[in-house]
Structure 1
Amino acid sequence: MNYAIIAAGEGSRLAQEGVARPKPLVLLNGVPMIKRLIDIMMSCNPESLSVIVNEQMTEVRSYLEGLELPVPFNLVVKSTPSSMHSFREVSREFPSTGKFILTTVDTIFRQEEFADYVKAFEESDDADGYMAVTSFIDDEKPLYINVDANMTITAFRDNPWDGVKYISGGIYGLTPPAIDILDSCMAKGVSRMRNYQRSLVEGGLKLKACPFKKIVDVDHAGDIATAEKFINGD
């Protein structure tokens, strides 16, 4: 599996709340957030890893350049206006064939659930993508997901409705056709990941929803303790 991490955000909310470290290097139980994520990916049949950081993150860049990894490592240093633009930049490093999994550096999940998700995606031969979903809602602006009886995603919605069960978990398992749609979205000026995901469905790609019990994001200083408790099984 090819992996990618978007770590190009400024982490401004954390900084405003007194967190001195750049977001990717925020410690969770003593381990930098990005290192924990890389370690999980490196335990799940990796073929390559690509990471994008912004041009101001010199400390993060130095940290990543000092890592010794068992697979080809592509580090992209570029400031972008959005996570979708970061996705486009880092996607240039993906192999032309094969599957890849992309997430942001502040997406926190349990290793065992991620391993099951990777295995399901690897073994799938009838889907263009596997998207992590969760019924645990801890996001400020969740992206709600509609699925059919076979867990195929039929719609991404900004607002909830009666019977809604899942929101996006922010972990995207995709195949090369998704990059073609990404290029089309960029050409049309689409600038949000949620609108890109809608375009995947509108473009006829078959996306399967893979449930996680819980996924949390680290956006605020108070989220750090929450993430640590979650990782520890609380």
Structure 2
Amino acid sequence: MGTPSDRDSMLIRLRALDCLATAVSWMIRVIIADWPAAIGFSSYFMSNNLERKYRASHLSGLNAAFVEQLYEQYLDDPESVAGHWQATFRELLDGVADDTRHRLIAERFETLAQHRSLIVAPEVANDAKQAGVLRMINAFRIRGHQRANLDPLGLSERPEVPDLELGFHQLDDSDLDTEFHTGSLAAPDRLRLSEILAICRETYCGTVGVEYMHIHDTDQRRWLQQRLERSRGRFEPPAEIADSVVVMEKG
């Protein structure tokens, strides 16, 4: 047994620790509350709330990742998604403040999950592999730079990035000859998976590493995305600059 002064000292330390724990708990709650706004609707809100609701509903065939990708495409380019999806997102977002959009979208999809007849699903809605292809394309846009070949001397090995592998998206080599919709990829509307994969690797895992998905301005992000994917990640200078380079080389 310690002396009274020892016990008092221990109580003071315990109370201090309790206050510290309360403060840390409060800070964590604040961070979590702001998290969706900080990291974006798609990566937090859709992946957690909507995916959980879809798994619990009889709309589970309408893959949540597919809806997530459609929403991302709609934000980037409304014309890149089917008309009925444009109408759905437009109806939800028109005239609604940014801070309430996420809640309204969650409520809308919860209603759709309870009334399947309200949705006219596109031909790929029940195709998990199609959803996997769209997720894979987005993964290359986000993390492809981690596999870029940035060491011309070949002295270091490029890291493995699971998100960029077919299996991570429930795809495999048997799907390589299957045609899929390319979504918002700067490419023909339908291509074989092998062709889609080649475009993604050439664009985002070549000799230039590009990070741009963190850009908040949709027009800027979309512009970079289109320029990168159309040129397959290669720099194409304007004609007048290219001509100047040729003249300098000859000189």
TM-score (ref. length: structure 2): 0.25
**Largest Rg, 1 or 2:** 2
Q: Which has the higher helix share?
A: 2
Q: Which has the higher strand share?
A: 1
TM-score (ref. length: structure 1): 0.26
